[in-house]
């Protein structure tokens, strides 16, 4: 890690970090970007573990999407993450692509950011001047832009261990297998003993220039008992927070319609899952 940080600081703007290369290499191949130096961090040791430590699940940034998808702990307790991982691209990409790369790329269509937003995760960044933590919802600042500073490497993702009575899911609507989404939503709910929503996390993919946290949708749900009409209302609020644009995947009206439907579905499903825990 130290060496990697040194190299990055030495070459500055001329260097780019590469993990699994699944986003970076296409950019280089299509000559959309080019860098004199590529710092390949995929061999760094100790950055592919998935462990619960203290209050957090720690995921090393070099954990591949496949490792995430197949991890039993994730499957059991972090369903949204498990589901999102299984819906990313195809097995070839998942075997190479890393969670750190997926988040650091800053692509509003990448699936992991919305999930870690909903799970209220923190990201641990390493730099020569030391480590710092940032909240998942402030990590990506715009299309393909993050708070990562020159010479910084994303080291770990820290997800608060969900308490009892909580559950979540990730619903991704896509045209064909292997595609990016038309729209996708991650929901994580924690319930009170009386089934009221204690806390809600909602993250959105592909419906704004960056992955979004549906802040108003979350606070609308908090303290409420879930009925069909509150869920419908929550979905409406979430849609109003989105800002999709018309493109080949569909018009913005279509994307909003899709988002509304999957959000309703995701809140219902998360609630059911929280109830059985």
Ligand X SMILES: Cc1cc2nc3c(=O)[nH]c(=O)nc-3n(C[C@H](O)[C@H](O)[C@H](O)COP(=O)(O)OP(=O)(O)OC[C@H]3O[C@@H](n4cnc5c(N)ncnc54)[C@H](O)[C@@H]3O)c2cc1C
Positions in the binding site for ligand X (CB under 6 A):
16-24, 26, 61, 65, 88-89, 93, 96-98, 100-102, 104-105, 110-112, 148, 153-154, 180
Q: Determine the Cα–Cα distance for residues 61 and 99; give it in Å rounded to an integer.
A: 6
User: Which CB atom, from 178 or from 223, has the smaller least distance to other proteins?
Assistant: 178
User: Which CB atom, from 224 or from 257, has the smaller least distance to other proteins?
Assistant: 257
H helix runs in the chain, sequence order: 2-11, 24-29, 65-70, 72-77, 79-86, 91-96, 99-104, 112-118, 136-139, 215-221, 228-241, 252-275
148 binds, among other proteins, ligand X, none (CB under 5 to 8 A by kind): ligand X
Residue whose CB is nearest to ligand X in the complex, by number:
101
> Please, what is the minimum distance in Å from the beta carbon of residue 180 to other proteins?
9
Closest among 27, 28, 61 to 154, alpha carbons compared: 61
250 binds, among ligand X, other proteins, none (CB under 5 to 8 A by kind): other proteins
Q: Report the relative pairing of strands 145-146 and 140-142 from DSSP bridges.
A: antiparallel
Count CB neighbours of 77 within 10 A.
Answer: 18
176 binds, among ligand X, other proteins, none (CB under 5 to 8 A by kind): other proteins
88 binds, among ligand X, other proteins, none (CB under 5 to 8 A by kind): ligand X
Binding site for other proteins (CB under 8 A): 30-31, 173, 175-179, 182, 247-248, 250-251, 253-254, 257-258, 261
H helix runs in 119-251, sequence order: 136-139, 215-221, 228-241
Residue with the two structure tokens 């996708």: 184
User: Which CB atom, from 88 or from 200, has the smaller least distance to other proteins?
Assistant: 88
Give the helix/strand (H/E) hosting 90. none
């Amino acid at each position: 890690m130290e060496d990697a940080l040194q190299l990055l600081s030495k070459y500055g703007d001329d260097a780019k970090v590469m993990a699994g290369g699944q986003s970076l290499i296409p950019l280089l191949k299509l000559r959309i970007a080019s860098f004199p130096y590529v710092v390949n961090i995929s061999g760094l040791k100790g950055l592919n573990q998935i462990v619960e430590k203290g209050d957090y699940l720690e995921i090393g940034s070099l954990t591949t999407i496949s490792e995430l998808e197949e991890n039993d702990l994730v499957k059991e307790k972090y369903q949204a993450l498990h589901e999102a991982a299984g819906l990313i691209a195809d097995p070839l990409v998942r075997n190479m692509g890393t969670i750190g790369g997926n988040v650091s790329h800053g692509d509003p269509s990448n699936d992991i950011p919305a999930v870690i937003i909903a799970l209220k995760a923190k990201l641990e960044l390493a730099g020569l001047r030391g480590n710092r933590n940032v909240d998942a919802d402030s990590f990506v600042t715009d299309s393909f832009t993050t708070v990562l500073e020159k010479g910084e490497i994303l080291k770990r993702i820290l997800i608060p261990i969900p308490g009892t009575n909580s559950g979540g899911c990730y619903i991704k609507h896509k045209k064909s297998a292997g595609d990016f989404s038309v729209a996708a939503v991650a929901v994580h709910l924690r319930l009170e003993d009386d089934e009221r929503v204690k806390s809600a996390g909602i993250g959105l993919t592909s419906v704004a220039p960056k992955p979004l946290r549906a802040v108003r949708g979350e606070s609308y749900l908090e303290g409420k008992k879930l009925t069909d009409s509150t869920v419908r209302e929550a979905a409406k609020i979430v849609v109003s927070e989105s800002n999709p644009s018309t493109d080949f995947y569909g018009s913005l009206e279509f994307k909003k319609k899709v988002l509304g439907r999957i959000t309703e579905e995701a809140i219902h499903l998360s609630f059911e899952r929280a109830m059985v825990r």
